[in-house]
A and B are shown apart, each in its own frame.
Chain A
Amino acid sequence: MQSELVSLLPRLRRFAVSLTRNGPDADDLVQEACIKAMANAQDWDRSQTLDRWVFRILRNHWISELRKRQVRLGQGHVDVHETEELITTTTAEHDLAARQVMGRLAGLPPAFSSALLLVAVEGYSYKEAAEILGIPQGTVMSRISRARALLADQLSLVGGV
C-alpha cells in the first residue's frame, strides 16, 4: 500500500488543493490522510480502489479540520453540509494563494471544484463522488453543473462575449 500511496500523491494533493485552495493546507491534509490510511490499512475494503478510499479519508479529515477552525474562531459547531461553504475566498491573500495553485479554477467554491474534479477528471460516477464527498447524489449533479456554468461565464467574460 505504501508505494501505491506514494504514487498517488500528486492526485491526492490535487484533490486536497481543490478543497483547501492553498498548498500548505493541502500538503498537511494529504500527509494526515496518508498516515491515517496506513494506520488503518486493515480497514481498506479491497473491492474498491485505494484512491477512492483515501479520497474519502482526506475529505473527512478536511471537514473535521474545518469544524475545529470554526470552533476556534468562536463560531460554534457547524453542520457538515454548511462547513464546506465556509472557506469561500474572502481576502486578496487567499485569492492569490488559490490562483497560484488552481489557476482559473480559483474562482470556484471548493465544494464545486472538488466535485468537478472527482467526476470530470478522476472519472467517478455521481454516485461514487457523492459517497466520497458525503453528500447526496443530486447535490453532486448540481455542484458540477454550477461549476461549469461559472467557468463558462468566466470564459465569456474573457472572450468579451
Chain B
Amino acid sequence: MNDLSMQLSALLDGELSTAEAEALQQKMQADPALQAEYDRLVSANNLALAEFAAMLEQSLPLALARTVSQAPLAVPANMPRAPRPWLQIAAALALAVLTGTGGYMAGQRQGAVQLAAADWVAEVATYHKVYAAQGRHLVEVPASESEHLVSWLSKETGVPFTIPDLSAQGLTFEGGRLLVAAGQPVGQLMYRDASGAVIALCFIASDKPASETVRRDLDGFDALIWGKPGARFIVIGPKGDDRLPEVARIGQNI
C-alpha cells in the first residue's frame, strides 16, 4: 500500500479534484505499470459490487421484518398522535414484499401479518393506492409467469381462478401479487392501459360471499364488489372509469 495506490482508489471514487485526477491520468498514460495497477483496482471494485449486490438477494428473516414493522414509534409527550392505520398498512405491505410472506404463510397460515382494520375491502383500496402508483414495480410476479402466478395465488388464497383477458377493454395484464388483508391472503391481478391507468382484480376466500354486486367509493377509487361460492371479489380502478362494470362482469367468470 502506498500513496499512489490510495490516489488510484480515490480516483475510482471520484474523490480527487479535477487537477489531481488529470495529473494522475497523465501519469497512467505514461506508465503502463500504473495503468495496470488501476485496472487491477477496477476489477477488484467490480468484484466487490457484484458480491455486495448478491448480499441483497439473501432472504430477510421474517421475524426481523415483523419486529421492525410492528415496533412502536416514539411520540413526543406534547404531541398526541392519532392512530395511523395507513402507516401500519404501508409497513406491512413493504414487509410482505421484502420477506415473501406468501411462502411463509403457506406453512404457517396463523402467522399471517395482521393489519389493523378488519374490512378487507378498505385494505385492498389502500394497497391499490400504493401499488397503482408503482411504475416498474407494479407487480410481484409478471405476466410472463402467468402459469406460476395462477398456481401460486390459487394455492395461497384457496381461490381457484383464471386470468381474464381484458384486452378488448384496452387493458394489458401486467401480473399479480399476494396481499394480506384482514389477516387473510388476497390475490391481486393488475391491469394497465396505454395511459398508465391501473385496474386491479382482487379475490379472497370467504364462507359467506355476498351474491349481488355492489359499487363503492373507496379512498378516491371506484370499486365493484361481488361474491360467488367460496370467494369474494373486487374490481378497483380510477374514479369514474366506465370500464369497471364490464371488467366485473368478465371477472365473475374467472
CB-contacts of A1-29 with B (<8 A): 1-3, 5-7, 9-11, 13-14, 17, 23, 27
User: Which A residues touch B47, using CB under 8 A?
Assistant: 104, 151, 154-155
> Contacting chain A: which of B88-96, B162-170, B195-203, B241-249?
B88-96
Cross-chain contact B73 with A7 (CB below 8 angstroms): no
Count of A-B contacts judged by CB separation below 8 Å: 137
A105 with B51: in contact, given A42-B76, A155-B43 (CB under 8 Å)? yes
Contact of B48 among A14, A101, A141, A151 (CB under 8 A): A151
> Contacting chain B: which of A65-73, A78-86, A88-96, A117-125?
A117-125
Interface residue count on the A side (C-beta < 8 Å): 49
Cross-chain contact A38 with B74 (CB below 8 angstroms): yes
User: Which A residues touch B64, using CB under 8 A?
Assistant: 9, 13, 27, 30-31
User: Which A residues touch B53, using CB under 8 A?
Assistant: 121
CB distance from B39 to the nearest CB of A (A): 9
Q: State whether the Cβ of A61 lies closer than 8 Å to any Cβ in chain B.
A: no
Interface residue count on the B side (C-beta < 8 Å): 45
Binary per-residue interface labels of chain B (17-40) against chain A in the complex, 1 for a CB within 8 Å, 0 otherwise: 000000000000000000000001
Q: State whether the Cβ of A87 lies closer than 8 Å to any Cβ in chain B.
A: no
Cross-chain contact B15 with A40 (CB below 8 angstroms): no
A104 with B58: in contact, given A2-B91, A42-B76 (CB under 8 Å)? no
> Contacting chain A: which of B2-10, B143-151, B183-191?
B2-10
Cross-chain contact B73 with A2 (CB below 8 angstroms): yes
CB distance from A150 to the nearest CB of B (A): 8
Which among B8, B43, B71 has the greatest number of chain A C-beta atoms within 10 A?
A: B71
A-B contact pairs, 23 of them (CB 8 A): A2-B73, A2-B88, A6-B69, A6-B98, A14-B56, A35-B67, A39-B74, A101-B58, A102-B55, A103-B54, A104-B51, A117-B52, A120-B13, A120-B45, A121-B48, A126-B13, A144-B9, A147-B48, A149-B1, A149-B41, A152-B43, A152-B44, A155-B47
